[in-house]
Structure 1
C-alpha cells in the first residue's frame, strides 16, 4: 500500500472516537472556488461536537469556545463526511470535545482522508441562560 497523500488517502477511520454524524455536502454549500465553504464545515462540526456533551449536560447548553480548528484538506461536493467525537474534559459547568472529520471521496470509495479537526467547549445553561453545574452522575459515567 502506498503512503497517504491528498490524491491517494488510506487513512483508517478512528476506532477510539464515536461516529456522531454523517453528511454529504451539496452544490449550494460551495464557496467561490467551488470547494465547500469553511463556514458550512464549521457549522457541521459544531453540531457533531454537541452530540456527546448533550448526554452529560441533560438540558440546555451553548458553544462557548472553538479552542482549535484546522482545515487539512478541501471538502468537495459529493464527499461523504464522517464526524467522530470524543469528550476530553468534563469540568464543573463545561465539557470539551475533540472532533475529527474524514471525507470519503466520491471517486475513491472505501478510502478516507482527514479533512478537519477541531476542539470545542460547551457549557451547561440554566433556564436563565447562566452556567449551571453538570449533573454529577453524568460526569462520573464518562
Structure 2
C-alpha cells in the first residue's frame, strides 16, 4: 500500500482499507489518467469495469493454471465517482469454486487527497470465470483453493 501519513499519525504509516471482506487480497493498483474520463470529468464507468474484470481474473488464473474467460458479471455497483488522481486498489476474494467455474467478489477502494488521505469504497462487483481448454470448451479445475 502507499505510504501516507494522516494528521496526528506517524509519518510513513500505511493506510488500511476500511472493513474488507475476510480473505480479500490486494490484486491490483492503478491510477486513472486524463484519457479515462467521460464528458462530465469523472472516470468513465466502462474503464472501471474493464479494470475490475482484469483484477477479478487474478485469483481464478492462479487456480485454473490455464485459460479462463469471463462468463458473467453477476452484480456491479458504482458507489462513488472516481476522479483523476485517485489511486485505486482492487481487492478480490473467491466466493464460489465450482467444477469448471470460479466466482469472485471484487471491491475497489480509492485513496484520495494526498494532503489529508482518505480511503473510499467506490465500486464492488461479483464476476464468474470459467476455465477453458484449447478448443474453448469448459474444463475441470484440477486445483482447489
Q: For the superposition of Structure 1 and Structure 2, which TM-score range results when normalised by the shorter chain?
A: 0.7 to 0.9
Which ranges in structure 1 are unaligned for 5 or more consecutive residues?
1-9
* Count, aligned residues: 129
Alignment of 1:1-142 (within 5 A): 12=18, 14=20, 16=22, 17-107=24-114, 109-135=116-142, 138-139=143-144, 142=145
1:108–1:45 distance in 2 versus 1, CA, 3 Å: farther
Q: TM-score, normalised by structure 1?
A: 0.86
Which ranges in structure 2 are unaligned for 5 or more consecutive residues?
1-15
> 1:37-71: CA deviations, max 9, x gaps?
00000000000000000111110010000000000
1:20–1:11 distance in 2 versus 1, CA, 3 Å: closer
| Alpha-carbon shift at residue 12 of structure 1 (Å) | 1.8
Q: Secondary structure at the match of 1:55?
A: helix
- Aligned alpha-carbon RMSD (Å): 1.6
Q: TM-score, normalised by structure 2?
A: 0.84
CA distance in 2, matches of 1:87, 1:69: 16
